[in-house]
Amino acid sequence: MHPCRNLILFGHRFANENAAIFGQRDDSRSILEANRSMKIHTDAASRLATEVVTQLPVPSRLGMLRFERLNESSWALLYLDPACERHFGLPAHELCSLIDSPYASLMEPAVRLRTHDVIQAQLATQGHYSIRYRLHTANGLLDMLEIGELCQQYGRELLRGYLVIEPYSSEATPPLDSPDSTLKLSADVYQPTTDVHLEHLIRSRAQQSLIVRLARHRYSSADPQLEAAQLITQAASEAYGIAGAAIWHLNGTQLEAVVAYRRDNDSYEYPSALDVAAYPRYIEALHSGRAIGVSNVLEDPRTEELANSFFKPRRITAILDATIRVGGEVIGVLCLEHSGSTRAWHADEAAFAGELADQYAQVLANQQRLSATHTLHLFQRAIDQSASAFILVDKNGVVDYVNPSFTAITQFSADEVRGRRLTELTALENLSELLFDTSSRLAKNNSWQGEFRSRRKNLEPYWGQLSAR
């Protein structure tokens, strides 16, 4: 083998020998230079890991802010590097508050929701994520790079990693002394873009405050759906400064009003149902998107069908409608109605309308779950108290449930049969054949009713009437 090849492969273990080999090919001065080189340049592999790690720079000095937050679209921070204050203009403990979601209020709602979906997609494929977004802070606009990974703690999914402030985004507007001072700034001090930024910041914080208020509300009436609809329509009318708002349920081709709030007289109305079959383009727009933002209902092709019959009599000039979805299916719509001049809707306003619709959808889902739980409880009570024996088995013939009457008839207790196959219970072998024999009528028709002969636990025979499905 060539001497130089040996020097490369075995340089760590046989340094002196290789130096000698190297010297055979060169003069003696090369040996001295090689030895001197090995004394000056310490082998990095021989250094302790702790020695190397302790020499790494502190992340915050590199502009990397460590964070930990809930894996939710609310972006609720649990920890943030205290060095964030000089960048965001707010101390870490305020940004980490779980009330009003202060960090999330710095983001555009539509972007925040889309970014959350991107994070979930990246986590599903690679276990970590890297995304960019923009914050509207008191110090101006900041472009952020967020990198992190998923972790489990206290039974919750958390995200932890680092926030990096992009260097080119540091050109921000002058800092504001306090939130109240934004109302006193004159237009000649800041550029028009700054005014737009401040308006967005005020809207965003008001929207987040309303979402928290709705999420914390405890529905105590006999009809939580109506109570939620009244609360959301009134709150939306006040937040958007519009004439009114309404929530409609989509029932086949009928839009049935749950409630409509009128801001001018602070009252609730219950309009007649609408036959949406006459408005195909509006319904198509509802099913194809998250929200419909129309600045002029008389000219937009999605809404002009309703102009004469609905909008003109109510003096509605612009609408922002968000679909209410449960299980991915459109089951209703939240309608925000503006009167007077035309109105252009901002992207964050459309996204917030979607969040309000989601709040109502959550109430519906909760009520459906409670109703299903109540029905299941009643059904189980009826089975438990029935004089007929009930046995529930899975597709593999494993017993999941038996009622008390089954124990009284067969003498097998629930603990003796639950989790076992019917074939393991000698006294019930013929029942297993009946249920799982491919040639039986049950296998062909998915149901069977008739008499069958079986044995009790003490092998005493008996005849029973069986209905299987």
Listed range (200-214, 262-276, 414-428) with the worst mean pLDDT: 200-214
Mean per-residue pLDDT, 51-63:
65
Residue 35 pLDDT exceeds 60 = no
Query: Tell me, what's the pLDDT at 266?
Result: 92
What are the residues whose beta carbons fall under 8 Å from the beta carbon of 30, sequence distance 6 or more?
A: 22, 23
Query: Tell me, what's the pLDDT at 459?
Result: 80
Query: Tell me, what's the pLDDT at 242?
Result: 93
Residue 369 pLDDT exceeds 70 = yes
Q: What is the pTM of this model?
A: 0.49
Locate CATH 3.30.450.40 in the chain: 217-372
E strands in 84-205: 128-137, 140-153, 156-165
Query: Tell me, what's the pLDDT at 203?
Result: 66
Query: Tell me, what's the pLDDT at 72?
Result: 84
Residues 455, 441: Cα–Cα separation, whole Å: 22
Mean per-residue pLDDT, 288-305:
90
Listed range (16-20, 290-294, 352-356) with the worst mean pLDDT: 16-20
Q: How confident is the model at residue 41 (pLDDT cuts 50, 70, 90)?
A: very low
Residue 286 pLDDT exceeds 90 = no
Positive or negative CA dihedral for 215, 220, 225, 231? negative
CA triplet 67, 71, 77: central angle to 5 degrees? 35
* Average pLDDT, rounded, for the chain: 76
Q: Is 297 exposed, middle or buried (0-12, 13-18, 19+ CB in 10 A)?
A: buried
Most confident of 20-29, 166-175, 282-291, 313-322: 313-322
Listed range (140-144, 168-172, 218-222, 259-263) with the worst mean pLDDT: 168-172
Q: Which CATH superfamily is domain 217-372 in?
A: GAF domain (3.30.450.40)
Q: How confident is the model at residue 434 (pLDDT cuts 50, 70, 90)?
A: low
Query: Tell me, what's the pLDDT at 247?
Result: 96
Query: Tell me, what's the pLDDT at 194?
Result: 53
Model pLDDT for residues 69-81, shown as the tens digit of each residue? 988 888 888 899 9
Q: Which CATH superfamily is domain 391-468 in?
A: PAS domain (3.30.450.20)
Query: Tell me, what's the pLDDT at 127?
Result: 87
Locate CATH 3.30.450.20 in the chain: 59-171+190-212, 391-468
Listed range (162-171, 298-307, 309-318, 449-458) with the worst mean pLDDT: 162-171
Task: Decide which of 453 and 1 is more confident.
Answer: 453
Residues 349, 199: Cα–Cα separation, whole Å: 12
Domain spanning 59-171+190-212, CATH class: alpha beta
